[in-house]
Structure 1
Amino acid sequence: MTESTSSLRRQLWQQTWPMAIGVLALLGFQLVDSAFIARLGTQPLAAQSFTFPLSFLIIGVQVGMGIAIAALISRTLGADDMARARRLGTLVLFGGSALMAVLMLIMWLAQTPLFTLLGADTPTRALIRAYWGPQLLANWLGAVLYFGYSLFRAHGDTRLPGKLMVVTSLLNLGLDPLLIFGVGDWSGWGLPGAAWATAIAFAIGIWLLVRRLRSHDWLARHGLRREVRESSGPFVTIAGPAMVSQLMPPLSAMLATWVVAGLGETAVAAWGLASRLETLSLMVVLALTMSLPPWLGRCYGAGDWPRIEALMMLAARTAAIWQLGLGIVMAVAAPWVAVALSGNPEIRDELAMLIRWLLPSYSLLGLCMLVVSASNALGWPMRAMLLSFMRLFVCYLPCLALGAWLAGVFGVAWGAALGNVLAGGLAWGIFRRSLKRRMATAE
């Protein structure tokens, strides 16, 4: 190992581990949240599972904006223009929060046709309606918090976002059983209690973040109108394709849920738990997609392409090895994991089958996610969007639908796994060729 590689590995670890712990805490509470709801019965769990695609869509919009925030600010810092970085930080923090509020309102007004289209029947839609209002509030508070995280990450601070993810997750875990099941003579709020627990935890997180933000000179009060005129074009150039890239997974999730809904309510409940487990198992990859782009953006601003290549190779090896090892362990432990997450024997069996097939395939899925994230940071937003489209609509969904048609839930499991493997291999090959051409041009 050369000194340069050793130094890069140490720096990558220092940037990534706070985000990995934060992502683990954040996704862990979401999984436990679903496990609590599973104790209410199959129908409440299925109701929550129907909301996942729309929640993923909301998250896709906020992540797309967060990508643009991190890319523009990190490139500006790489070019040593702190004044403009302050103006950009102010615009995206407050403008993004307003746009997300509008999106939440649209989601509330359009809930009946959306959930009907996803396959939810009338009793399930009644459960969803009581849950969807507080869940949208929680989603908006989570978006505001995420924009604050993006600002800190763009300035190279991954520790505070990681700490706040842990704090909000612990708060949520403490509030979940209280608000879902109640205490003493109070029977709790059931399914909506899970959403209120998340909303309260995120509100406290925002309060803590604002207190910390006041100690940094990262926001501006002057020159904002001029900055809107100058930066709206670059922001849309990055955020537009990034949002489309991030909106493809929730659209794909909606279509996948629609396919799985044809296999029955139990299959939807198992698929919902598997979706929660998927995001939790990808915590290291998700942390890398948060910590790596600002670093790549600074290298891009400085024109340091050899360092970009070294960073990507190191990140790819780390993601692939970690995910494959974790996938094998989870596949072996699938029966016990399924028992821990669900009390229904039918859900347990189908969930165990999904875990065995899907978890090992995330080693290749992780590579695809890294490539899409890096492409946005390196000025290739259209390429990132096309790679996301290829992954979901050329590889993943066709294989999943074919598997469901041929073999039911078992076919869904191996079909989705095959789609992940194909997508990861194709994305990494395309990225390597593009990077080599760009380095040759720079030389």
Structure 2
Amino acid sequence: MTQQSQSLRQQLFHMTLPMLIGMLAVSSCQLVDSAFIGQLGAQPLAVVGFSIPIYQLIIGIQVGLGIATTAIISTALGANKNTYAKQLGALIIVTGFILISMLCLILWSAQQFIVVNLGGDTALFPFVREYWFPWLISCWLGAMLYFGFSIFRAHGETRFPGIVLVLVSIINMVLDPLFIFVLDMGLAGAAWATVCAFSAGCIIIFAGIHRKDLIRLPDTMVTITAGVKRLLSFMAASMLSQFIPPLSGLIATGVVAFYGNDAVAAWGLASRIEFFSIIIVLSLTMAMPPMIGKLRGSNQLTQIDQLVRIAVSFVMLSQLALTVITVLFSSPLSRALTTESSIADILHEYLWLVPLSYGGLGISMLIVSACSAMGMPALALLISALRLFSCYLPLLWLGSEIAGLTGLFIGAMTGNLIAGYLSWQLYKKRLTLLHSQYPTVVNPLAENLLTAS
């Protein structure tokens, strides 16, 4: 192992570990939350199952903006444009506030239309209306919290956001049983507990941004215009690539809904477990962009490909270990998350099949994040589209047609594995193409990025 490779590994470890701890706390909180909701019966679980793809839509938009945040701020910092980086931070907060507010209002007004078109029963409407009001507020607060985290990450600070994530998760887990059972608020209580936790997190994170002077209002209209153009140039493609997964999630939920509310409830629980299982991948996708952005901004770009390869190798090994653990504990985990035996049986079958492909899913996610941060959003968008619309969804549907719900799970597993392989091959092909186009350049990837800038 070269000294350069060792240095990259150490940097990646120190950037990823705080976010991993924080994300682990969040995912643990979500599993505990699901276990509490699972005690309320099949209908509340079904409502959560129909809500998850909508949540993924909100997450897609906020992550797209978060990727743009990390890329442009870290690049500006790498070029020693510190004041400009702070002004970009202010523009990002305002842009995120407007986008997520508009989206949450639209979702609230169209809630029944959404549930019906996803295959939901009209009997769920009272639960939906009760749950979605506090839940959409929590989604908005969660997005603002994420934008605050993105600004810290862009400045190379992951420890403080990681601590805040842990604190938010603890507050949520403490308030969940209090609101759901003690105060008898039922399903809505879970959402109100999250509202309280995210509110506390927002207060802490934005107080930290103010204390560290990480944002500054632009002083001229020229700066605002230039900053918005710079943000949009990164945000459009990255947001579109992040919009594709929730769209496919909506379609997949519609297919699963054909098998009834129990299947949707199990699918929703499975989504929470999937989030927990790919927690290392998610942490890496948040830790890598600021590293890539700073390397790019200071023209130290020869290490980018090596960094990506280190991360991919780690994902393959870690996901293999987590898959073994998930399969071994699939039965007790299914019983712990719901008291409904029919839902637990479906979830158990899912956990025997789909987690085998989380390594392929992780590689795809990692490549998309890296390509966006490297200034290749078109490739990131292509990989996202191919993964979901050429691999995952077609095979999920085909499996469903051939072998019912079991076939659907096998199709999802196969789609993730093929997508991981194709993502890596596309990434390598792009690098090979760059080498052939720039044979005299020591680092053709750097030349390409400089041209894109």
The TM tier, using the shorter chain, reads: over 0.9
**SS of residue matched to 1:214:** helix
Q: Is the 8 A contact 1:87 1:224 kept in 2?
A: no
For the structure 1 residues 313 and 34, does the alpha-carbon distance in structure 2 shift closer, same or farther, using more than 3 Å as the test? same
C-alpha displacement of 1:252: 0.6
Aligned to 1:388: 384
Q: Which amino acid aligns with 2:264?
A: V
The alignment partner of 2:133 has SS state of helix
Describe the superposition over 1:123-175 as per-residue Cα deviations: whole angstroms up to 9, x where unpaired: 11221111001001000000110000000000000011111111101100000
Equivalent residues in 2 for 1:323-402, closer than 5 Å = 323-402=319-398
Quick one: which amino acid aligns to residue 52 of structure 2?
A: F
Aligned to 2:104: 104
**C-alpha displacement at 1:6, in angstroms?**
1.9
Give the conservation status (yes or no) of the 8 Å contact 1:91–1:224: no
1:382, distance to aligned residue in structure 2 (A): 1.5
Q: Distance in 1 between matches of 2:435 and 2:151?
A: 29
Matched, 1:406 2:399: no
- The Cα of 1:305 is off from its aligned counterpart by 3.0
Q: Deviations over 1:28-72 (max 9, x none)?
A: 211211111110001110011111111110111111111111100
1:288-313 CA deviation, whole Å, 9 max, x = no partner?
Answer: 00000110111122233321011111
Residues in 1 aligned to 2:145 and 2:220: alpha-carbon distance in whole angstroms: 22
Tell me which residue corresponds to 2:450.
Answer: none
Provide the rounded CA distance (Å) in 2 between the counterparts of 1:324 and 1:305: 30
* Matching residue of 1:282: 278
Residue 438 (structure 1) shift: 3.5
Aligned residue in 2 for 1:77: 77
Task: Look up the match of 1:249.
Answer: 245
* Structure 1 contact 237–381 (Cα < 8 Å) conserved: no
C-alpha distance in 2, partners of 1:351/1:19? 28
Query: 1:170, 1:438 → 2: CA distance?
Result: 47
Which deviations, in whole Å up to 9, do the C-alpha atoms of 1:175-224 show, x marking residues without a partner?
A: 00111112xxx4x1100101100010000011111222222122213425
Separation in structure 2 between the aligned mates of residue 102 and residue 420 of structure 1, nearest angstrom: 32
The answer for unaligned runs of 5 or more in structure 1 is: none
| Partners of 1:326 and 1:360 within 8 A in 2 | no
> Equivalent pairs: percent with the same residue?
43
- Give the corresponding residue for 1:147: 147
Structure 1 position 338, deviation (Å): 1.1
Aligned residue pairs, count = 439
- 1:103 and 1:397 mapped to 2: Cα distance? 25
What's the TM-score once normalised by structure 1's chain length?
Answer: 0.97
One-letter amino acid of the structure 1 residue matched with residue 419 of structure 2: A
Q: 1:439, CA displacement in angstroms?
A: 5.5
1:146-185, aligned counterparts within 5 Å? 146-182=146-182
Are the aligned partners of 1:245 and 1:388 in contact in 2 as well (CA < 8 Å)?
yes
Name the structure 2 match of 1:128: 128
Alignment pair present for 1:64 and 2:64: yes
Contact 1:16 1:288 in 2 (8 A): yes
Distance in 2 (CA, whole Å) between partners of 1:179 and 1:224 is: 47
- Contact 1:306/1:439 (<8 A) preserved: no
After TM superposition, give the deviation of residue 418 of structure 1 in Å.
0.2
Where do residues 265-276 of structure 1 align in structure 2 (5 Å cutoff)?
265-276=261-272
Describe the shift of the 1:91–1:196 C-alpha distance in structure 2 as closer, same or farther (beyond 3 A): same
Which ranges of structure 2 fall in alignment gaps of 5 or more residues? 443-453
Of residues 328-337 and 223-232 in structure 1, the stretch that sits farther from structure 2 once superposed is 223-232
Q: How far does residue 436 in structure 1 lie from its aligned partner after superposition?
A: 3.9
SS in 1 for 2:211: coil
- Secondary structure of residue in 1 paired with 2:380: helix
Partner Cα separation in structure 1 for residue 323 and residue 385 of structure 2 = 25
How far 1:366 sits from its partner (Å)? 0.4
CA contact (8 A) 2:91 2:227 kept: no
* Distance in 1, Cα, partners of 2:334 & 2:351: 8
For the 8 Å contact 1:88–1:227, the answer to whether it is kept is: no
Kept after mapping to 2: 8 A contact 1:179/1:194? yes
Cα pair 2:120 2:261 within 8 Å, conserved: no
Give the TM-score normalised by the residue count of structure 2.
0.95
Q: Distance in 1 between matches of 2:434 and 2:204?
A: 42
Could you tell me which amino acid in structure 2 is paired with residue 139 of structure 1?
C
Candidates 302, 305, 315, aligned match of 1:309: 305
Report the RMSD for the aligned CA atoms in angstroms.
Answer: 1.3
Counterpart contact for 1:153–1:294, Cα < 8 Å: yes
Q: How many angstroms apart in 1 are the aligned matches of 2:220 and 2:157?
A: 24
Q: Residue 230 of structure 1 corresponds to which residue in structure 2? A: 226
**2:138 maps to which residue?**
138
Letter matched to residue 197 of structure 2: A
Secondary structure, counterpart of 1:305 in structure 2: coil
CA distance in 2, matches of 1:179, 1:384: 41
Paired residue secondary structure (2:212): coil
Task: Give per-residue Cα distances to partners, 1:222-247, cap 9 Å, x unaligned.
Answer: 42522221122232121111111111
Q: 1:221 is paired with a residue of what secondary structure?
A: coil
